Structure 1
Amino acid sequence: MEHSPGRLATTLIATSIMAVGCTSSPPDSPPPPPPTVNAAGAGADGAGDPYYPQDGNGGYDVTDYNVSISYDPGVGTLDGDTTVTANAIADLNKFNLDLIGYDVSNVDIDDKPAQFTREGDHELSITPPEPLPKGATFKARVRYKGTPTVQEDGQLGKNGWQKARSGGSFVAGEPHSATFWFPANDHPRDKATFRLNARVPDGWSVVSIGREEPSTAADGWTTYRWVEETRLATYLTTIGIDKWTYERSALADGTPVVTAYAPGAENKKALEARLPEILDFLSSKFGRYPQKSAGGIYLNEDIGFSLETQGRPIYARWTNLETVVHENAHQWFGDSVSVDTWADICLNECFASYSQWLWTEAKERQNLDQRYRTAIDRFKGRDTFWGNKLYGMGKGNEFHGVYDKGVLAIHALRRQIGEDAFNRVLKEWPAAHKDANATWKQFEDFVQTIAGQDLRGFYDAWFHSDKIPADQYLYPGSLRG
């Protein structure tokens, strides 16, 4: 994800960095394992993330979402029919799915009617007709109807089902977006494959993530189909309903590329034409492109962020070349290797932001050491800049610091461990955790092993502290010059 210029105070600082060229606390311990069941075999109503304890659920592991919706932009009502395939990881006589809004008419477990209730803002509590034994695979089918909603998020602006100026709709948001349109286990820790069948009136069209499959038309409606075969976190799904202009091609290795432009966004075609060059560059740094599809979804909307929806990022109207670099870097850092908890967000955003520096270094021959020193000089006396922790930042602060202070921290890490070790980290970390989840603590240990250095003081100074690092960590290696 990348913020729009001016969305947050930290974003203004980040823009400045990109335009220019105490006692530290011990590392935070990893969070405790998430609860899987409550008393009497009921799946927990949260995945155990300390920042969002009610997000996600326990007791099962989703393997696939099969989402079918019907939506008429002129009416604004969504009819949904979603089947969630999951494995019980505990004996369950009750479990929850997350779903925001909607009237739920039926829930079936393995084709048998189940009892259900709504609890709180987003919990759909389901009682199977028979208890589900640990190890069982089951299918939960949920049928629902209503008007999709959007919510204001304090950090990022609007999350959820949003209306386009054309009359169409799109879904985008982090950490929440999926459950504004289908029931899910809404936490990055539970990754699953995704299939979409979306029925819209003729004249409208649909774009999503994954592989495009043939559409079918009948009785004035067209059904569009998309399949994502690589497991993903739920917030990386999306749907766009509009009068899209499509461009279809393939990368050199045959990976299909589908890009969609909303009415008024066709002026981004020249920008998107550089996608193969961008992915070639990022692959040279991070290893082989980890997704099975590529492309972009270009909106004509001034939303507060662009988002790394898997394999096909969704872009705001203000998107520029570095935004496209940033969101595609997320295909490695954030999409393929996903966070274990939201406290680990630097694993996503610090590296996607630093990819923009790598790009300007390679393509514009920019001196990154000088860019770094200029930024340090500018922000040395600004406590608000250094006050944003990059790990253990606290709920509601996840996206403060990772775009600006995080870039400086990664460059300092590069100079601290040396070029050879840093280049190994950029490639070997995504390979080691491909299509999985990882923690910041695992990353610290990983880098320390590759570097052959005791980096605890460096980590404390840059990632765990809310103060400016001491000079030995602020100016490592060639930055001392």
Structure 2
Amino acid sequence: MLSGRPVIAATTVLLCALACSPDGTGESAPATARPSGAATAPSPGATASSGGPASPGAPGIGDPDFPTDGNGGYDAERYRLTIGYEPDSRQLSGVAVIEARATQALSRFNLDLSGFTVGEITVDDRPATFERSGDELSVTPSRPIGDREAFTVKVVYSGEPRPVRNSSNLGTYGFIPTRDGAFVTCEPNGAKTWFPVNDHPSDKALYDFEITVPAGLTALANGEMVGRPRTSGGKTTYVWRENHPMVSYLATMTLGRFELREGETASGIKNLAAVDPRFGSSLNKLYRLSGEITDYWATVFGPYPFSSTGGVVDDFSAGYALENQTKPMYGGFDPDEDIIAHELAHQWFGNSLSITRWKDLWLNEGFATYAEWLWSEHKGDSTAEEIFRRHYAADDDDPIWAYAPGRAQPDDLFNNSVYTRGGMTLHALRQRIGDQVFFELLKTWNAEHEHGNVTTEQFTALAEKLSGKQLDALFDAWLFQSRKPATW
């Protein structure tokens, strides 16, 4: 995603993600809220059906840099979201059904939800009690949930979605109302601005969307459309399904007036391009490049990990793009080839292979930035070597050298170094181990971790295994030292 940078520069570092913590914007329910007829909460120390003692799940998933993001005690497996939205009143009504599995015996668990009024919560069709505190929604089921037990949560909620408006240079993200609908781009933790969720990239899940909007509008979500849109009573309902695991910040329900082009890439992957009428002249280019680049990356990175590709250009001037799974979003501009190449490379690096902790963000952004350089090389423009040397020519006191990209900082998560110096790390590695092993490494990395979560340590270990070289010094110099590497 771009943030605070020109979107048309060919070598622009794409800040493909946004803010690092919520700012508290949005309406909150009272500190304690219980639906009528809710079940009595189990007493402390109650025993789960598995026979073990139950305890509350942690209010955070365990990322030390973002301790309140996500939640512990369970693994979300599928979200079934039924949502109606009225652009004129900006009112959203939702029913979220979350299929999950406990990772401990649970007496209580949390969901992330910013704002909204929660009307009812059930767990396995039994009324549950709940409490609100900021963006934490704490749910107490009528009986404890056993370790490894599957359970289903249903949350009925409504209200006006409020995006996160970060006070730094990170911009606005989450559910963003627009003139004719909404622009929904949620990295890093904005999914909670429109549905209850375990909002951290280490808990991936499948998604079903049923979105109802005023007739004449189009609702776009991840994956592929199921059936045809249904119109009745002045409303149209769209059903989308993403049957591949997805990080919550990649989920979208962008809607408005769009011109569409649908078909397949040359290799047979479904391809959908959608543009606001203001950008109608870019529709065919977006469709063509999305297909061409997706197919090319499959030859470089390994088979495309999803069932469809494409892109969406909305008229909201976000100043950035986001690699929403299967449908990258471009906020208020006609993207050039480098930007499209970057966002589509993320379908492998970030979407299929997702980070386990935010400190490893270079595994997303450094790889997608290097993909831009590879695309330039493929098109016969500047080679990756030439681009690398231009960046390396930066003075020794340039800020890029002071920020070690292998440890992304929570107060400056999307620093230029994570992108550019992250990409330079890959080129230094390529020079050290040679093209044959380097490109074998990219394919093996994707094949071994497809649809999973990854760490820097796993990547460096694989690089050493395939190359047969000791690479500690290289990775230390490029990823973890706050100075310009002397050699590579």
Give me the TM-score of the superposition, normalised by structure 2.
0.88
Residue of 114, 121, 124 corresponding to 2:137: 124
Contact 1:385 1:405 in 2 (8 A): yes
The alignment partner of 2:107 has SS state of coil
* Residues 64 and 387 of structure 1: CA distance in aligned 2, closer, same or farther (over 3 Å): same
2:54 is aligned with 1:57 = no
C-alpha separation in 2, matches of 1:127 and 1:108 = 10
Q: CA deviation at 1:381?
A: 2.8
Indicate the residue corresponding to 1:41 in structure 2: 55
Q: CA RMSD in A?
A: 1.9
* Residues 396 and 282 of structure 1: CA distance in aligned 2, closer, same or farther (over 3 Å): same
- Structure 2: runs of 5 or more not aligned: 15-52
The alignment partner of 1:369 has SS state of helix
Corresponding residue pairs, total: 445
Indicate the residue corresponding to 2:378 in structure 1: 362
Amino acid at match of 1:224: Y
Out of 286-295 and 266-275, give the one that drifted further: 266-275
**Percent of paired sites with the same residue:** 35
Indicate the residue corresponding to 1:147 in structure 2: 160
C-alpha separation in 2, matches of 1:106 and 1:367 = 57
2:432 is aligned with 1:419 = no
Q: CA deviation at 1:13?
A: 12
User: What pairs with 1:251-266 in structure 2 (closer than 5 Å)?
Assistant: 251-266=265-280
User: What pairs with 1:220-299 in structure 2 (closer than 5 Å)?
Assistant: 220-272=234-286, 273-299=288-314
Residue of 368, 371, 396 corresponding to 2:411: 396
Q: CA deviation at 1:156?
A: 2.5
The alignment partner of 2:409 has SS state of coil
Q: CA deviation at 1:203?
A: 1.9
Indicate the residue corresponding to 1:453 in structure 2: 469
Contact 1:61 1:86 in 2 (8 A): yes
The alignment partner of 1:467 has SS state of coil
Residue of 201, 204, 210 corresponding to 2:217: 204
C-alpha separation in 1, matches of 2:169 and 2:456 = 21
C-alpha separation in 2, matches of 1:293 and 1:329 = 14
2:193 is aligned with 1:177 = no
The alignment partner of 1:441 has SS state of helix
Indicate the residue corresponding to 2:329 in structure 1: 314
Amino acid at match of 2:357: T
C-alpha separation in 1, matches of 2:274 and 2:290 = 13
C-alpha separation in 1, matches of 2:149 and 2:404 = 42
The alignment partner of 2:324 has SS state of coil
Residue of 175, 181, 201 corresponding to 1:161: 175
The alignment partner of 2:294 has SS state of helix
The alignment partner of 1:282 has SS state of helix
Indicate the residue corresponding to 2:349 in structure 1: 333
Amino acid at match of 1:133: G
C-alpha separation in 2, matches of 1:16 and 1:424 = 26
Give me the TM-score of the superposition, normalised by structure 1.
0.89
2:112 is aligned with 1:98 = yes
Indicate the residue corresponding to 1:71 in structure 2: 85
Spell out, residue by residue over 1:427-453, the C-alpha distance to the aligned partner (whole angstroms, 9 max, x if none): 110111000001111111111111111
Indicate the residue corresponding to 2:17 in structure 1: none
The alignment partner of 1:402 has SS state of helix
The alignment partner of 1:162 has SS state of strand
C-alpha separation in 1, matches of 2:79 and 2:268 = 26
Contact 2:201 2:249 in 1 (8 A): yes
* Residues 4 and 249 of structure 1: CA distance in aligned 2, closer, same or farther (over 3 Å): farther
Indicate the residue corresponding to 2:317 in structure 1: 302
C-alpha separation in 2, matches of 1:218 and 1:374 = 58
C-alpha separation in 1, matches of 2:313 and 2:199 = 25
Out of 286-295 and 360-369, give the one that drifted further: 360-369
Indicate the residue corresponding to 2:399 in structure 1: 384
* Residues 201 and 374 of structure 1: CA distance in aligned 2, closer, same or farther (over 3 Å): closer
